[in-house]
Amino acid sequence: MSKTINGFMLIDAPWSALNNAGMDAGERTDNAVKVKVIRKGRDVYPYVSAQAVRYWWRETLQKKFGWDLSPIERGTKVAYTSADPIQYEDDDMFGYMRAAKEKIEETGKRVNVTVTRISPLKNSPLLSIYPQSPTNDFGVMARQKEGDPVPYEHEFYSTIFKGIFSIDIDLAGRFYEIEKSGYQNMSPKLISKAKEMGLEHNEEEKYWRLPVDIRRKRIKETILALPYLSGGAKLTEHLTDVSPKFLILAVIEGGNHIFMNVADENGINFDALSQVIEDYKDIILSDVYIAKREGFLDKMDKELSEFGNKKWNQGQREIKVKVNSINNSVVEFAKILDEFIR
C-alpha cells in the first residue's frame, strides 16, 4: 500500500470573509456580497472552498520557495496548464487535466492529446466547527464630489475552520502512461523528454520517476509552506491570517484520512483523537506531530500537554505524540520524511 501524509488543521477566522459566493440580487443594495455557507437543518456553517485553499497553497509555494508555476494556456472555453510535471512542481503536486493538439515529431502531424493527473496533494474545504449567522456590514462609497453615495453590503463572520489534507508520497514525482483517467499523465512529448533526461522507468507498471532528491524537495516544501499560507477575500478590510493555528501530522499506510473527525464545537476532542490512534496504530508509520499556536484555544493547553505524554505500542515500535509550536513541528516533521521518500 502507498504511504500517505495525513494532515488536520484549524484556522482562526475572528472577523473574516475568506471566500465569497458573489452578489446577491435579493438584498437591499445592488452591491451585496454573500459569503459561502452550507446548511444543516436550520444551522448555517460558513466554508472556504477547497479550490481557494489550493490557490493559497500554490501561491505560497511560489512566493516562499520560488516554485516555477506552470504557465496557463487559455482556449475559447477552457484553460489548462502546461501539464509538464517534470519541469513544473505544481503540475506534479497539484495535478492537471489538459486536452490540446500536440505535434508528433515522427510524423510531423498535430493530433489531439488528452492527459490527466490525480493530484498527490488532496485537501478538503475548510468548514466552520460551529454554526454561524454571518453579519451584514453596510457601507457607502462617498468620496465622489457629485452625486449620491453608493451603498454596498458584505457579510463576514467570526469562527474557527477545520480542514484535512493528504499527500500521496509514492505518487509525487511518479508519472504514469496508462490509458486510464488520472493515470495518462504522459503525452508523447513528455515521454520523449523523460527518455532524454534518463529518468527512472518502470516498464511493468508503466511509470517514470524523478530522482529522490527532487521528490523529497517537492513534498517537504509543500509541508513547510503551511505556516506561511496567506490569502483570502476581503483582506483589505478584514486581514485574516489563514495559516494553521493547530496542526496534526503523521505518515500512514494507505489513503484514508484518519483524523477527519477529531474536532467539535469545543475544539479538539482528545478522546476521539486517542481512539483514532489506538484503532489505526497498525498503519501509523511515524510519530504523531501535534502543534498549536500560543494564544489560540489556550483553554486546551493542559489537556494537550497531558496528551503529549501518551504512547502506543505497535509490535516492536512505539508511537509517540510530539507536541511543539507550529513552525517547529512542521520543520521536525519534514526532517523525518526522508525515511519514507525512497
Q: What is the pLDDT of residues 129-146, one digit of tens each?
A: 999 888 888 776 656 666
Calculate mean pLDDT across residues 52-59: 97
Question: Which of 46-55, 104-113, 327-336 has the lowest average pLDDT?
Answer: 104-113
Q: Tell me the residue length of the chain.
A: 342
Compute the C-alpha angle 70/60/243, nearest 5°. Answer: 150
Answer whether 274's CB lies under 8 Å from 310's CB: yes
| Res 262: pLDDT | 97
Domain that holds residue 224: 1-49+125-170+211-342
Q: Is residue 98 located within the same domain as residue 15?
A: no
Q: Is residue 116 located within the same domain as residue 195?
A: yes
Q: How far is CA 269 from the centre of its chain?
A: 23
Side chain identity at 304, as an amino acid letter?
Answer: L
Q: Is residue 85 part of a domain?
A: yes
Return all residues near 130 (Cβ < 8 A) that are at least 6 apart: 45, 159, 160, 265
- Of the two residues 122 and 136, the one the predictor is more confident about is 122
What are 189-221's pLDDT values in tens digits? 999 999 999 999 999 999 999 999 999 999 999
Q: Is residue 166 part of a domain?
A: yes
Q: Is residue 247 located within the same domain as residue 318?
A: yes
Q: 101 pLDDT exceeds 90?
A: no
DSSP-assigned letter for residue 284: B
What are 256-266's pLDDT values in tens digits? 899 999 999 98
Q: Is the dihedral of CA 113, 118, 120, 123 positive or negative?
A: positive
Q: Is residue 133 located within the same domain as residue 192?
A: no
Average pLDDT score, the chain: 91
Number of domains in the chain: 2
| Res 235: pLDDT | 85
Domain end residue (candidates: 184, 209, 234): 209
| Res 30: pLDDT | 55
Answer whether 252's CB lies under 8 Å from 283's CB: yes
Q: Is residue 188 part of a domain?
A: yes
Return all residues near 102 (Cβ < 8 A) that are at least 6 apart: 110, 111, 112, 113, 187, 188, 189
Give the integer Cα–Cα distance in Å for 72 and 79.
7
Calculate mean pLDDT across residues 137-159: 74
| Res 337: pLDDT | 98
What are 265-276's pLDDT values in tens digits? 989 999 999 999
- Rounded to two decimals, the pTM is 0.92
Residue of 51, 29, 44 whose CA lies nearest to 233: 51
What are 266-313's pLDDT values in tens digits? 899 999 999 999 999 999 999 999 999 999 999 999 999 999 999 999
| Res 245: pLDDT | 98
Q: Is residue 149 located within the same domain as residue 38?
A: yes
